[in-house]
Chains A and B, each alone.
Chain A
């Protein structure tokens, strides 16, 4: 893994969590959307918070696509799990939502679980490179090889 690739993973985590939080802030302004008044969704698209959230989520999407081009799906998702912690902190200190002790423990468990996965290799090796040693040592080359196959 190169520094650039770690930077892409950080981008996925930060853009995703901050984008979700901005959307949440905007949707609180709009209020509850009823299934019989779907035009409220169009109104939501004129809200500055919602638009900012969407822009950040576009950044998230670009970073996510880039990460998926050289890593397993089951690596990218856990490796960017720090976003859950960012969301909890934003919800607590910026949006002033109530985050109960049980939810904090849940968030910690999720982060521990996905962090555990992130310690493994980024890409499932090809059959001819199936040993763990060769997989760790040649991870970038494997990613490149699989990507170009």
Chain B
């Protein structure tokens, strides 16, 4: 039963994390290169621009859900299972979401990598 709870926490974390990652990525691309902005306008301008972005706020909400799912998961299972499994599944989910919503180029190199990651995740369950 504990094993089922662990995997439920992982799945919740992956869903919330993919949503958050896509929203945050979109927000940060619209804000611009943080390093360049820091040099030209200062750190407070950068922080203000990021915090005022509506997609950033939505991304934080999704990430908060993912964080609490992680806390639950860690109280039920080993970090060496939960951290790589959730991060790897998030990677696969992000690959699909990034292509669909961020229009990133997902070429053969990245598809092969997804296969590697999927096999790795399957092995983590043993």
Interface residues of A (CB under 8 A from B): 4-5, 17, 20-21, 23-24, 27, 30-33, 41, 44, 57, 64-66, 68-70, 72-74, 77-78, 83-84, 87-88, 90-92, 95, 97-100, 102-103, 105-114, 116-117, 119-120, 124-125, 143-144, 146-148
Q: Given A41-B71, A117-B113, A147-B36, decide whether A105 and B123 contact each other with a Cβ distance below 8 A.
A: yes
Which residue on chain B has the smallest CB distance to residue A92? B80
Known: A69-B33, A97-B79, A99-B80. A24 touches B124 (CB 8 A): no
Nearest-CB distance from A113 to chain B (Å)? 3
Q: Does B52 contact A (CB under 8 A)?
A: no
A57 CB contacts on chain B under 8 angstroms: 67
User: Is B119's beta carbon under 8 Å from chain A?
Assistant: yes
A32–B105 alpha-carbon span in the complex (Å): 42
Is there contact, CB below 8 Å, between A20 and B29? Answer: no
Q: Which of B2-42 contact A (CB under 8 A)?
A: 21-22, 24-25, 28-29, 31-36
Distance, CA A110 to CA B125, complexed state (A): 13
Tell me if B31 and A113 are in contact (CB < 8 A): no
Contact present for B103 and A32 (CB under 8 Å): no
Other-chain contact of B122, A83, A106, A112, A116 (Cβ < 8 Å): A106
Chain B contact residues, CB within 8 Å of chain A = 21-22, 24-25, 28-29, 31-36, 50, 67-68, 70-72, 74-76, 78-81, 83-84, 87-88, 90-91, 94-95, 98, 102-107, 109-110, 112-117, 119-124, 126
* 9 A-B pairs with the lowest CB-CB distances in the bound complex, closest first: A113-B116, A106-B123, A109-B120, A110-B120, A147-B32, A24-B79, A91-B80, A147-B33, A68-B28
> Please, which residues of chain B bring their CB within 8 A of the CB of A30?
75
Residues of B within 8 A of A114 (CB): 91, 113, 116-117
- A selection of 30 A-B contacts at a CB cut-off of 8 Å is A4-B35, A17-B83, A23-B74, A33-B71, A65-B24, A65-B34, A66-B34, A68-B29, A69-B31, A69-B33, A69-B35, A73-B25, A74-B95, A77-B94, A84-B88, A87-B80, A91-B78, A91-B79, A92-B80, A102-B126, A103-B84, A106-B119, A109-B116, A109-B120, A110-B121, A113-B112, A114-B116, A116-B116, A117-B113, A120-B109
